[in-house]
């Protein structure tokens, strides 16, 4: 995200309800990283989405490998 293109006045906004005690944890984590709570939350969501995408790709690859193994196994049994 380029600072030249980012404008906090026009950025999408979303109200987030946090469970009791979580705001303090987020605030402490942000302070320890010398960043804002907003930046910390955006990074956390981005990392989660990226990890989920990787999990989905790995599951797809495993499913394809299992299918190819079954097809290859039936070919070998017929030979």
Locate 21 and state its tokens: 């005690």
Q: Between these two residues, 33 and 7, which has the higher pLDDT value?
A: 33
Residue-range domain boundaries for the chain: 22-78
Mean pLDDT for 9-14 is: 88
pTM score: 0.62
Mean pLDDT for 42-48 is: 93
Locate 8 and state its tokens: 């906090």
Alpha-carbon dihedral angle through residues 12, 13, 17, 22, given to the nearest 10 degrees: 80
Distant-in-sequence, close-in-space partners of 16: CB < 8 Å, separation ≥ 6: 41
Question: Cα(43)–Cα(4) distance, rounded to whole angstroms?
Answer: 19
């Amino acid at each position: 995200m380029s600072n030249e293109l980012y404008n906090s006045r026009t950025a999408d906004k979303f109200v987030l309800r946090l469970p009791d005690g979580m705001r303090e944890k987020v605030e402490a984590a942000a302070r320890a990283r010398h960043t804002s709570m907003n930046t910390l939350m955006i990074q956390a969501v981005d990392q989660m989405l990226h990890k989920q995408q990787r999990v989905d790709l790995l599951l797809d690859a495993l499913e394809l490998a299992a299918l190819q193994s079954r097809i290859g196994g039936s070919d070998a049994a017929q030979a």
